[in-house]
Structure 1
Amino acid sequence: MSISAMLLFLLFGLVVFDADLAMHKKLEVKSLLELANHDATFAVNQALKTEGIIDLNLDEAMDRFERRMEENGGYSRQGALLQPSRESVTSDPLSFTYYYIDFQHWQRDVSFSLRYDEDQVHNLQLIHAEHGDIMRPEGGYVEVEITTEDGEILQLSPKRMVGPSLVVVAYVDEQPFTPLLSGHAFPVVSVEELKW
């Protein structure tokens, strides 16, 4: 077998390994995000609950989210970034943003438009959130669209709400495993209803 053929097989092996690694990271980050967001949605405002009003205590929810991301994934929050530790599944920070959809809006579709720009302080910015006009008794859909710094538009699969929900969107943008390959860049979304 010639050296060029061996190099070709080696490159093919690297591509397969890199694709497998990217899929593993995506599934792991999605799982971490969903677990942390699930815990965050237990932060119901207890003072209002005694009056029959169910609402999220957003500060407590984000404290719970941060704690769970650190316990499960080794990430610590610094502003709008989740900084990885040496044990984390990603080596570069995760950009993230969150949005609470309350009792008045969960039965309407909500469309989020975000922009990711690696060079900004807040890499992942919410440009606007648009609530639909139609009431869906079974719950509205959350639609997320992210425009990358290259102008590419990424649309995530719609997720249905079954009650007031906390939406967390994260964007992974990592350096490549080897300079011969492209980096791993992908968005992840979690929609969790309040646990009341």
Structure 2
Amino acid sequence: MLFFLLVGMFVVDTDMAMQKKTEVKMLLELANHHATFAVDPILKTEGVIDLLEDEAMERFEERMNENGGYHREQQTFVPGETSVTTDPLPFTRYYVDFRAWQQDLELYLRYNGKDLLQERVVPGAVRPGGGHLQVTVVTPEGEQLHLAPKTMVGPSHVVVAYVDERPFLPLLPGHSFPVVSVEELKH
């Protein structure tokens, strides 16, 4: 009987992790969508779509607070009482501008147990239809997590967050996974 109870709790814990992943992905995408409207109005009149990065971050933070109850402290979103995660959500962002969106890009990040840091950015081949973006996150244990590649269709704002949550029950493993949002600038 105890065995079935433990299996049931493991299934519930796994289901909660998947729900958190879906919710965090949705929060990032909604916030990033709002952020990508922060385009330079002067350059836009000249036909150049470029991001005002400070305004974009303000817009991103605004939506993370409105939709998820998070507030930003440097490179971390701290959850509120109603947030989907209970532990801080470290993040990093990268802007692919109008001169580089057709070029492949490999973004290497490292999660050190507290912060999500950009290690290196490697440009690649040029593709007229839009470059491929590959994000790799290295965990504290050295495991490389490769997120599904994305194709950029214009200047893009990339946000990657790392969920590192305590388990539902202390005997179960925690939940740790990266989430990415890539949004084209809106014009």
Fold match, TM over 0.5?
Answer: yes
Larger radius of gyration: 1
2:22 is the counterpart of 1:30: no
State yes or no: 1:126 paired with 2:118: yes
> How big is the shift at 1:50?
2.5
User: What residue ranges of structure 2 are gaps of 5+ in the alignment?
Assistant: none
The answer to whether residue 11 in structure 2 is matched with residue 20 in structure 1 is no
Equivalent position SS for 1:39: helix
Q: Which amino acid aligns with 1:156?
A: L
Determine the C-alpha separation between the residues in 2 that align with 1:136 and 1:51.
24
Counterpart of 1:99 (choices 94, 108, 116) is 94
SS in 1 for 2:168: coil
Segments of 5+ residues of structure 1 without an aligned counterpart are 1-5
Greater than 3 Å deviation, 4+ residue runs: none
The structure 2 residue matched to 1:190, chosen from 154, 174, 181, is 181
Matching of residue 139 in structure 1 with residue 130 in structure 2: yes
Task: Tell me the CA shift for residue 184 of structure 1.
Answer: 0.6
SS in 1 for 2:103: coil
In the other structure, the counterpart of 1:108 is: 103
Partners of 2:46 and 2:136 in 1: CA distance: 37
User: Which has the higher mean CA deviation after the structures are superposed, 136-145 or 64-73?
Assistant: 136-145
Q: CA RMSD in A?
A: 0.8
| Residue number among 139, 164, 170 corresponding to 1:179 in the alignment | 170
1:150 to 132, 135, 141: 141
1:74 aligns with 2:69: yes
Aligned identity (percent) is: 61
Q: TM-score, normalised by structure 1?
A: 0.93
Question: Residue in 2 aligned with 1:3?
Answer: none
- Contact 2:160 2:179 (C-alpha < 8 Å) held by counterparts: yes
User: Are 1:167 and 2:162 matched, yes or no?
Assistant: no
Q: Secondary structure at the match of 1:61?
A: helix
d(CA) in 2 for partners of 1:139 and 1:159?
10
Q: Which has the larger strand fraction?
A: 2
